Structure 1
Amino acid sequence: MVPEVSKHQVLDASDFALLWENCTSPYDYGENESDLCCASTPCPQDFSLNFDRAFLPVLYSLLFLLGLLGNGAVAAVLLSQRTALSSTDTFLLHLAVADVLLVLTLPLWAVDAAVQWVFGSGLCKVAGALFNINFYAGALLLACISFDRYLSIVHATQLYRRGPPTRVALTCVVVWGLCLLFALPDFIFLSAQHNERLNVTHCQYNFPQVGRRTLHVLKLVAGFLLPLLVMAYCYARILAVLLVSRGQRRLRAMRLVVMVVVVFALCWTPYHLVVLVDTLMDLGALARNCGRESRVDVAKSVTSGMGYMHCCLNPLLYAFVGVKFRERMWTLLMRLGCSNQGRPSSSRRDSSWSETTEASYSGL
């Protein structure tokens, strides 16, 4: 998913053909004859463009800093303990890497929103593909973590812990391979294109309307619905087990697994609902007019920003709430020459990155 600063596409032959077809479509373009698609120019985008110029650079810069610091800390701590990583730790490491690579592209999109794309078509393809690869990887790795915990808690099956050590690595390779496959359209169709009407250059897709709809469906299904369904099912079953079990530790685990699904859904549901509305407008199922187009464009910018915030929340959900992370962080800081004063202590012999992971390996 290329950030929504790229939503303003250059009008090519296929776009004019679509405009001509829409002359007889049921879209509602207004009561006056001058509002009809075949009698007017495309809708002005001054408001949405000005909103993007003011809103997106600030948001992307903030998310870049927070995401880089948080996920960078997670990756550094995990890599310092790489000889003793559990399956969940390995998934968390790949998740942190995916989030770091995603936020590294945000400064480029901030420049694109504030001014225009000045980096050429080659970097446009790479940045767009890198962004989408890690967008899909984040969602699929969360699903892998939830499935691993589901097997451990509900079925008492240590799929990765008792299997060959290469099994978790193979799972990660499959996840990254799928994400690379999903990002192929970015390598093929993304390019830096000059919009003569707006007199700006943007990194955007160059394919017919049907291709845009197909990508929307792919992102909705593979990047949101399927991972969300996997997480919801797995954590619902986990909660059923944890509710039967007594103890403060298991209650903490219950709170955390609820947060995992809720935060993922809250961050990404608004964006996908707005994209669904935009797709229905393209298909003619919803009436289209310039005011509605402008509101949808602004809504996509705002809700996509909410989705990217998930990259900054992942370290909080999966690491910073865990005692083990804080201990590992202090150990790493001591190695770098920081003082031992104030180091937290814990009586747990087998604490882990999160209470959920701890519960998953405690014989429930």
Structure 2
Amino acid sequence: MANFTSTSRTSGLVAYMCDTNDPMINGPFFILIFILSITCNSLLLCVLFIYENLKNVTNIFILNLACSDLIFTITLPFWAVDHLHHWVFGDFVCKVITAGFDVGLYSSVILLTAMTVDRFTTVVLHNWPISHARMKRCAIGACIAAWVISILASLSDAMKVKVESWDGFNYCEPESEDKLGHYLQVSLLFFLPFTIIILCYSAILMKVLQGLNRKKSRTVAVLLCIVAAFFICWGPYHIMLLIKSLNTNKDCNVKKRLEVAYHISEMVAYSHCCMNPLLYMLSQKLRKHLLNLLRCEKVNRKKRERSSSLNTSQQFTLQSSAV
């Protein structure tokens, strides 16, 4: 979300601070990410629904992650306009888009944590007597819990934002000047899962080094790349949020440097929503499915089967007529 600090309200007076306007590159960059993410995640959903078994636990998580990325992606054009022309959509849309942004962010990290715990159970605790049906129920329960927690947390955030006018421009910002509570909530839903994921993957990698079949090790490697990409993208953003909220230095040069670092980390973080589909393509099976989808292989196969069935039927009719 855009953060403007040219003015602030203090005891009913407008106090001048620093001119730290947004760089113009953010808006066009968000539009580019929006186009890439919509395209990549839509293709991924098509592959899952047409070619993959959605009863598979890993595919259940991938499906929910794609939906999470799409929800986050839908908010990007609004933030792009906010960066380019300030907020022009009104108070209600401000709350809805803020909620969508947070649902996408929170659900992603919770789903990735659940996926990692699932891999930990499969690889490290593989001797546990857990049936596939029970693991599937646990995966569905984890996904439902991720969406419920994300929605509740996002509603709390949405209630705290509103459109305010400063210097003749509208801004979609939290009502309170003290944003530390919001940043701590975001960080709690980031750094705590990060700790859990680090512990789980440490145990998984130790197990892999002891010897694991090639198929399982490839799956673990793909999921590790997905998790690493999330924290590489979002890590600097959350660190910058905490630094900004804790910063007490009033020097304008310091504030400008913090804003530049924040906007760079923001662009890196927002680009994550189009990375998961690209990382899934590390899987040879998904690459094959994607190529078949782009060539309409399944559709063509159905047409050939229908044509063959029709020809057989016609031949049978001709034979019957001859008789």
Give your verdict on TM over 0.5. yes
Change (3 A) 1:140 1:9: farther
- Specify whether residues 172 and 252 from structure 1 end up closer, same or farther in structure 2 by C-alpha distance, changes over 3 A only: closer
Aligned to 1:289: 251
Q: Which residue of 2 aligns with 1:42?
A: 16
1:110 aligned onto 2:80: yes
Q: Does 1:280 align with 2:246?
A: yes
Distance 1:160 1:207 in 2: 50
**Among residues 96, 99, 114, which one is paired with 1:129 in the alignment?**
99
Q: Which of 113, 124, 128 is matched with 1:143 structurally?
A: 113
Match of 1:316 in 2: 278
Q: C-alpha offsets along residues 167-221 of structure 1, whole Å, 9 cap, x if unaligned?
A: 432221111110011112333122222113xx21121111241xx1001011111
Q: CA, structure 1 residues 247+149, in 2 after alignment: closer, same or farther (shift >3 Å)?
A: closer
Instruction: Say which SS state the counterpart of residue 173 (structure 1) adopts.
Output: helix
Instruction: Work out whether 1:11 is the aligned partner of 2:8.
Output: yes
Q: State the match for 1:213 in structure 2.
A: 180
- The offset of 1:79, in angstroms, is 2.3
1:307 equivalent to 2:269? Answer yes
Corresponding letter in the other structure for 1:72: S
Asked whether the equivalents of residues 75 and 101 of structure 2 are also in contact (C-alpha less than 8 Å), the reply is yes
Asked if 1:120 corresponds to 2:90, the answer is yes
* SS at structure 2 position matched to 1:191: strand
Percent of pairs with identical residues: 25
Task: Indicate conservation of the 8 Å contact 1:228/1:261, yes or no.
Answer: no
Q: Is the 8 A contact 2:124 2:204 kept in 1?
A: yes
Q: Normalising by structure 1, what TM-score?
A: 0.75
Summarize the Cα distance change of 1:247–1:85 in structure 2 as closer, same or farther, 3 Å threshold: closer
Please state if 1:200 is matched with 2:177: no
Residues 160 and 167, structure 1, Cα contact 8 Å, conserved in 2: no
Change in 2 beyond 3 A, CA 1:84/1:268: closer
* CA deviation after TM superposition for structure 1 residue 132, in Å: 0.6
Q: Sort the Cα spacing of 1:158 and 1:107 in 2 relative to 1 into closer, same or farther, 3 A.
A: farther
Bigger Rg over Cα: 2
What 5-or-longer segments of structure 2 have no aligned partner? Answer: 304-323
Aligned to 1:75: 45
Judging changes above 3 Å, is the alpha-carbon distance between structure 1 residues 121 and 260 closer, same or farther for their aligned structure 2 residues?
A: same
Q: State the secondary structure of the residue aligned to 2:275.
A: helix
CA 1:202 to 1:81, structure 2 compared with 1: closer, same or farther past 3 Å? same
Aligned partners of 2:164 and 2:173 also within 8 Å: yes
User: In structure 2, how many angstroms separate the alpha carbons of the residues matched to 1:308 and 1:97?
Assistant: 15
1:261 shift after superposition = 4.0
Residue 83 of structure 1, CA deviation:
5.6
Question: Which residue in 2 is equivalent to 1:163?
Answer: 134
Contact 1:160/1:168 (CA < 8 Å) preserved in 2?
Answer: no
Please state if 1:244 is matched with 2:210: yes
SS in 2 for 1:203: strand
Query: What is the TM-score with the length of structure 2 in the denominator?
Result: 0.83
The alignment of Structure 1 onto Structure 2 pairs a total of residues equal to 300
Partner of 2:159: 188
Write the deviation string for residues 128-168 of structure 1: whole angstroms up to 9, x where unpaired: 10111111111111111111011001001485723175443
Note if contact 2:124-2:203 (Cα within 8 Å) is conserved in structure 1.
yes
